[in-house]
Amino acid sequence: MRIEYNNPLYRPPSEARSLILQATLGCSHNGCSFCYMYKDKRFHVKPEERFFEEIEIAASEYPSARRIFLADGDAMVLSTGRLERILDRLNASFPLLQRVTAYANPANLLGKTADELSRLRERNLTILYYGVETGDPELLERIGKGATPDEMAEGCARATEAGLKLSVTVILGLAGISGSSRHARNTAELLNRIKPRYLSALTLMLGPWKNSYASSMDPGFEFNSAIDDVRELRELVTCLEVDRCIFRSNHASNYLALAGTLLKDKAALLDEIDRALEHPEEHLRPEWVRGL
């Protein structure tokens, strides 16, 4: 018997060396207009007995695994009791296990109390990867995120209270040219409320779904240029007041790769952005370098 992986399979860049186990397949929400990761995959939960069999197979093949990522996009949709059983089995099967991580969406966190999340944290669930995307309420509704800024702030507060670390992503370019400044300012405002431990700014990449996304936006929508995205990044960083937050914009989608810790490196990050705006040909990645 082997572990059955159902493709496509996605994981955060920081989980490159983690053992990946699919507790769920696809995404239960799957309604975000900018995301096409699971459009061709029907969401369902892997039967518990089968998943436990895969845990034991993985433990026999990778007994020294220290990190495990629970895929697909929505393992946190599982009930607290089921997640507790999964985490207990993982801890018993992998003696060197240091951490378990997973994606989380707004409904996941709003559906669990801080006490329930604390019980999961006690069982070695340490980091949740959470897509904020934007703090602009109108844009959140337009892209089908399924949550308001207040709802996201509430859910993230529960996770933080439970001792979980949040690795949050936002997406540059979501609002296009006309909404760029509002998107940046409102997103920074929400992030200042959430106070994530890790923050990554990605850049909108749609490939063959570009026209579909544009048609879902307001009439006259115009996509950002590379310079527009970097200007948006500058406004975002300018408005951020999250202290001791590890910040990155070095995702494969980004035009400008940045790395630093807020607020300590905020001035240096802004200087680097300004140099890129002044000499884009020297600092910005060309299109052929970007990719997912």
What does the pLDDT average to over 139-165? Answer: 97
Q: pLDDT digit string (tens) for 76-130?
A: 999 999 999 999 999 999 999 999 999 999 999 999 999 999 999 999 999 999 9
- pTM more than 0.75: yes
Q: Where are the domains of the chain?
A: 13-283
CA-CA-CA-CA torsion sign (167, 43, 41, 67):
positive
Say what percent of the chain tops pLDDT 90. Answer: 88
For the cut 90, the answer to whether the pLDDT of residue 66 exceeds it is yes
Report residue 124: phi and psi, to 5°: 90, 10
pLDDT at 1: 67
For 19-48, the pLDDT digits (tens) are: 999 999 999 999 999 998 888 889 999 999
Burial readout 170-207 (b: 16 or more C-beta within 10 A, e: otherwise):
bbbbbbbbebbebbbebbbbbbbbbbbebbbbbbbbbe
CATH architecture of 13-283: Alpha-Beta Barrel (3.20)
pLDDT of the residue at 3: 87
Alpha-carbon distances, residue 255 vs 12, 57, 98, 247, 277 (angstroms): 19, 41, 34, 15, 11
Q: What is the pLDDT of residue 266?
A: 98
Confidence of residue 289 (pLDDT cuts 50, 70, 90): confident
The average confidence (pLDDT) of the chain is 95
